[in-house]
Amino acid sequence: MGFTPLAGTRAPVRVWTDPYAIEPQAAKQLRNIGALPWVQGVAVMPDVHFGKGATVGSVIAMRQAVSPAAVGVDIGCGMSAVRTSLTAVDLPDDLGGLRSAIEATIPVGFAQRPEAVNTRRVRGLEQAGWDDFWVRFAGLDPRVAPLETRAQRQLGTLGGGNHFIEVCLEQGGDDEGRVWLMLHSGSRNIGKELAERHIGVARRLPHNADLPDRDLAVFLAGTPEMDAYRRDLWWAQEYARRNRAVMLALLCNVVREQFPQVGYDEPISCHHNYVSEESYDGVDVLVTRKGAIRAGRGDLGIIPGSMGTGSYIVRGRGNPDAYCSASHGAGRRMSRAQAKRTFSTADLAAQTAGVECRKDAGVVDEIPGAYKDITAVMAQQEDLVEVVAHLKQVVCVKG
C-alpha cells in the first residue's frame, strides 16, 4: 500500500492507513507529536488508535530525547510464539482439559504467585543472567523498592486486558494444521509503576511547560532524569522479555505433559511497547514503538488479531520510511466501555465459535467485534512485512 503523509506537521508523519479514517482524537495526537522540536519523524501503523499522550500504533524517532508516554505504561509488552511438532490430528476433540491445565499453571488477571518461580527448575528456560537481573532491582527508582517481592511473584504471570495465551493451528501452506503456542504479556505491575513515576517527573521539567500535550513530556539526553529513565526502562524491558520466556517455557511443559512426543522449534519473541537506539540516514535516534514491532529486513515478528480471528507470523522487509516497523495487532476500533455497551455474551459466544475460551461478561470488552479487521490491517502493510504463517486459535486463555 505505501504511506500517506499527514498534512500540517513540522516533522514528517507517514501513515499506513487512510488518514481520514483515523479518529479525530488520534489525529490530533499525531499532529501534536509531529510538532515537537525533537522529533525526526513519525510512522503511523494501520492499527492506530487513541492512547494516553501518544497514539497506540505510532513509531516516533527522536533526536537526543525520549517521551516515556510514547513507550506506554506497560513497558516491554510484546509477544512470544513457538511452533510445535504437533498437528491438529494430535489434539483431542475436547480442548477444555488443555485450557484448564494452562490456567492452573500460569496465573492470570491481577493474580500473583504465592511464591516466586524458581527459574532454575523450569525445564527449557534460558538460565543466563538471572542473578544479575535481580541484583539490578536495587538500582531502580527507590520509590519502587517495596515492590520487589511483588515483581518476583508476578514473574511468569499473564495479566489481564488484551493479554492472552493461545494454542493455534497454522492455516494453509505446507504446514497446514501445525500447532503453535502463543502468548501476549508485558512487565506487569512493576513496569507500570516505573512508567508512571517517570511520566510524572517528565511533566514537571521546565522545558516541557509549553507542550501542546503535557503527556508528551520528554527527557533530554545528558540529564540525570534521562539517565534514570533509561536505567529503569532497560530493566523493565528485560523483565517483560523474561516474563514471557518463563510463561512460554511453562506453557511448553504443560503441553509436553499431555503430549510427551512433542518437539519445539526456536521461539519467536518481540516487544511492541519499547525504546530502541537506531540510526536512519546517518542520524542517531531513539525510536519509541508504542503498539508496533520492529520489522527490520529478515526480523521475525508476531501480529495478533483478536480472540476469535487469528494471528500472523511475519518477516520484516526493513522499510526505512516506517523506521523498520509494523503494526502490533489489529488495533481497537472501539473503547472497552463502548464494546460492553454494544455487545452481549451471546455475541461473544457467536464470534468465538470453535474456540475453547471464556465466553462470560468479564471478557466482552475483548470481543473480536471491538477490534479492526486484521485482514485489512495486514493488507495495508504489505510493504512492511511478508506473511510467514497465518494462525487460527483453538484455545484462548484470558485474564
Q: At what angle do helices 224-258 and 188-203 cross, to 10 degrees?
A: 160
Per annotation, catalytic residue among 49, 163, 184, 328: 328
DSSP 178: E
Please give the span between the terminal C-alpha atoms of the chain, in angstroms, as a whole number: 35
Q: Would you state the torsion angle of the CA atoms of residues 185, 188, 192, 193, taken in this order, to the nearest 10 degrees? A: -170
Residue 367 φ/ψ, nearest 5 degrees: -60, 145
Q: Quickly tell me which residue has 509488552 as its cell.
A: 77
* Residue 328 is a catalytic residue: yes
Residue 33 φ/ψ, nearest 5 degrees: -65, -45
Q: Which helix (H) or strand (E) holds 347?
A: helix 345-351
- The C-alpha cell at 76 is 516491554
Measured from the Cβ of residue 283, the count of other Cβ atoms closer than 10 Å reads 11
Q: What per-residue string of b and e applies to 189-201 under the rule 16 or more CB within 10 Å gives b?
A: bbbbbbbebbbeb
Please identify every residue annotated as catalytic: 328
